[in-house]
Structure 1
């Protein structure tokens, strides 16, 4: 079966954020236009962040797809690793604070930052339930 691979920013069993690849089956449609199942969404928001923007460390409040429409976005993790996403790329942000945990920036979540010479433009699509 054909599939589409998405990058997922997630919270592991140890409460730490990480990245992983997940496969989404493309079991619907036709050979010319293979589709995944239809996933429900809870709305969307556009955001523009100026050159120099960097957020404080945080967890994703509600799982959502993040589509980079313009510019570049860097996502940094407490372990010092980071990934840069460019216009045309996306990821599924699901690094929520574990139940019962108190936020600790040395352990939980991520930060995001604009990179390059252009403002960062993003589209957030909220998920009503966890993707794939």
Structure 2
């Protein structure tokens, strides 16, 4: 499952979360980060509560595709239905299906003007099912 990995040896204490971020060269990149489960009980491990700045639901029809853009406000993106592909400037892409998620934080570098050949990512709906996503701003 993209966005969340639970290894048998670390399942009780840590998850791995996928993060889309802006690297020092201004390009969007992916990285995996540990997510500690330091709260809850052994039967239901939790992360500490995180603040959020609101949420939005989105429905995108079959055939949806965006131009390159940057994330304006860092946010979690959760795919609830369908498949979504995120493409980067280097030609790589990742797909996320129902129940998968990532943290989108590829914001425009401070002082930079958007360059569609350098900055951001593009997204598209994949397959024959409409895409339904949830955005949770941080």
For normalisation by structure 1, the TM-score amounts to 0.94
Tell me which of 93, 98, 102 is aligned to 2:113: 102
- Aligned match of 2:4: none
Residue 76 of structure 2 is aligned to residue 65 of structure 1: yes
Residue 105 of structure 2 is aligned to residue 56 of structure 1: no
Report runs of 4+ in structure 1 exceeding 4 Å deviation: none
- Aligned match of 1:86: 97
d(CA) in 1 for partners of 2:15 and 2:47? 8
Tell me which of 28, 32, 42 is aligned to 1:31: 42
Shift of 1:56: 1.2
- CA-based RMSD of the aligned residues comes to 0.9
- Aligned match of 1:115: 126
For normalisation by structure 2, the TM-score amounts to 0.90
d(CA) in 1 for partners of 2:116 and 2:68? 6
d(CA) in 2 for partners of 1:52 and 1:29? 42
1:38-53 pair list within 5 angstroms? 38-53=49-64
d(CA) in 2 for partners of 1:79 and 1:57? 12
Q: Structure 2: 5+ residue runs without aligned partners?
A: 1-9
Q: Structure 1: 5+ residue runs without aligned partners?
A: 128-132
- Aligned match of 1:6: 17
| 1:79-115 CA distance string (max 9 Å, x none) | 1111110011000000000000111111110001000
d(CA) in 2 for partners of 1:122 and 1:28? 27
Residue 34 of structure 2 is aligned to residue 18 of structure 1: no
Residue 81 of structure 2 is aligned to residue 75 of structure 1: no
